[in-house]
Amino acid sequence: MDPVTTRTHPHIGYAAMLERFAPNEVIALAQAAEASGFTGVMAADHFQPWVPQQGQASFVWNVLSALGQVTAGDLGTGVTAPTFRWHPAMVAQASATLAAMYPGRHWLGLGSGEAINEHVVGRYWPEAPERIDRMFEAVDIIKKLFAASLAGRDARHEGRYYKLESTRLWTMPDAAPPILIGTAGPVTAKRAGRTVDGIVVDGAPVEKVAPLLQRFAEGGREVGRDPRTQTRIIRLHLSWAPTRDEAVANALREWPNAGMRFPKSDIRSPFELEQIARTVRAEHFEGRVLISDDPDVHRAHIQRYLDLGFDRVYLHNVSRDQHAFLETFGREVIPRLVS
């Protein structure tokens, strides 16, 4: 049998950018995405947008809860930080409740956080290694709460960064939601492979992403996990429009943060990023946002990540005209992708 005939249609979801669209608009767009052939939603968790032009920052758990009522696909946080704004126990409670409301549909994507969202509570903002250690301790607490609560007992934690008095989650699904960790570095990717159910990667060049998947698989094998059972998710940022000039203009106006070739985790204000955005040029998006008016160029781009080994791809098009994007990709791109 020709091996090509055994390939299947992949899981292509909609990336709901809550820092760009008002909550009711996100709900309508997610419904339109599903009608166009997209499966599931990855929703961004932001307290502030990257730049003022983006204009929104709604509460991710409210939006995901509402989306569960009007869509049928998976529902994930891409990603939320259980480290500064929220104690890990609160993230565990929110996630467990969502999973109880929509059995089998919710996955919990976690990250180490960025100052633009997390500094608002006025706590000391540490260097990256501490933020990552905090995230993994938070994961430990969430896993303890999920496991103990399913077993009908209390959990407690006394750690370096967090304390949890004896308690449990009183509302739980029949099975705990899978936990995924967002990462851009190989060390964290390997640690995630040893610790959680999957990995979430934000759009980056293939040559940078491939080592992350390799290290993630290595970490899983070290603790006896079968890498084939762990989930690999990527969110790809695209700029498609009917003309290339429009696609370039949309990227520069709506998503200039992707053209800033430096770590942004320590920047606290959208207005500061707005000033930096004035220096961004179209060529700065190379490898971070694919800019093209040709749907087939986008299809080939997405297919490269599927071929690399990602199980799910969530697409974010930077244009304000999301309906044109959804209709075009639902008609010309998604049906031609294979996994």
Selected catalytic residue, list 19, 114, 137, 254: 114
Residues 69, 74, 79, 85, CA torsion sign: positive
Burial of 218 (0-12, 13-18, 19+ CB in 10 A): middle
Q: How many whole angstroms separate alpha carbon 130 and alpha carbon 95? A: 24
In sequence order, the 6+-apart residues with CB closer than 8 A to the CB of 102 are 68, 75
Coil/strand/helix, residue 75: strand
Contact 237, 205 (CB under 8 A): no
* DSSP conformational letter for 85: S
DSSP sequence for 167-184:
E--SS--SSPPPEEEE-S
Give the whole-angstrom CA distance, residue 261 versus residue 17.
Answer: 21
Distance CA 33, CA 25 (A): 12
Q: In which residue are the tokens 């049906």 written?
A: 335
Look up 114 and say whether it is catalytic: yes
> Are 290 and 204 contacting, i.e. CB atoms less than 8 angstroms apart?
no
Cβ atoms 240, 329 nearer than 8 A: yes
- The residue type found at 193 is G
Asked if 274 is an active-site residue, the reply is no
79 preceded by cis ω (within 30°)?
A: yes
Encoded tokens for 277: 């955005």
Give me the count of residues in the chain. 339
How many Å separate Cα 295 from the centre of its chain? 23
Residue 42 half-sphere exposure toward CB, CA atoms < 13 A: 25
Catalytic residue among 11, 46, 106, 119: 46
Task: Please give the positions annotated as active site.
Answer: 46, 114
